[in-house]
Amino acid sequence: CERAALIVTLRQSPASCAASVIDAERLRRQGAMTLRRGRDGFVVEAAKPRGIDRPWSPAVADAGETDASVLTPRVVPARAVDATPAEADLQAEE
């Protein structure tokens, strides 16, 4: 998760993950999606635009999300780094 730009998962992503995430809920709402890299991040578009009704895939009620969106990385606070020297390093200087 540290080096990833985008994660597609059926599981809950950790809160410390800075990558953009397409989770199970979004997959359930939008179904198949196309994904491409844009200038501002990944652009995700529903493969089946809203309102299209097919016998094998009925149209769903408006979920408030557009057919296309840009995924931007999440803002995750930096973890504190422990800068305390090791005991062995302290004893070596004496």
What is the pLDDT averaged over residues 53-71? 63
Per DSSP, the three-state class of 55 is coil
Q: How confident is the model at residue 74 (pLDDT cuts 50, 70, 90)?
A: low
Whether 67 is in a domain gets the answer: yes
Q: Model-level pTM?
A: 0.50
pLDDT single digits (tens) 15-55 = 788 888 888 888 887 778 888 888 887 788 877 766 777 77
Whether 90 is in a domain gets the answer: no
Whether 85 is in a domain gets the answer: no
Task: Using the Cα atoms of residue 30, residue 31, residue 37 and residue 42 in order, give the sign of their dihedral.
Answer: positive
- Exposure string over 41-55, b if 16+ CB within 10 A, otherwise e: ebbbebebeeeeeee
Q: 65 lies in which domain range? A: 6-76
Number of folded domains in the chain? 1
Whether 28 is in a domain gets the answer: yes
